Structure 1
């Protein structure tokens, strides 16, 4: 997956995106999983405030 993200960021307009990684706790087991999402830079704070989709 890293290669895909790096290739995306090298294209024109690629710097307008940010990769957000969030730790989410499972209600069933109590363990944490990580959710990754590519988000426009100007929407990062909004994405963090809303929670996981």
Structure 2
């Protein structure tokens, strides 16, 4: 499934997108859940660097 999503995001001449998957810890239970987002490549680099 991920291969299909990535392949459709790589269209020539368009904006470059990236799929970002983050582990988020629940403050209530302490369990980790995964949050998936599709965003611009530049925004993804900023989000992953922590800024």
Deviation at residue 35 of structure 1 after TM alignment = 0.4
Number of residue pairs matched?
Answer: 48
Partner of 1:26: 26
Unaligned runs of 5+ in 2: none
Unaligned runs of 5+ in 1: none
Measure the CA separation in 1 of the matches of 2:44 and 2:9.
16
TM-score for the superposition, normalised by structure 1: 0.64
* Greater helix share, structure number: 1
TM-score for the superposition, normalised by structure 2: 0.66
C-alpha RMSD of matched pairs (Å): 2.2
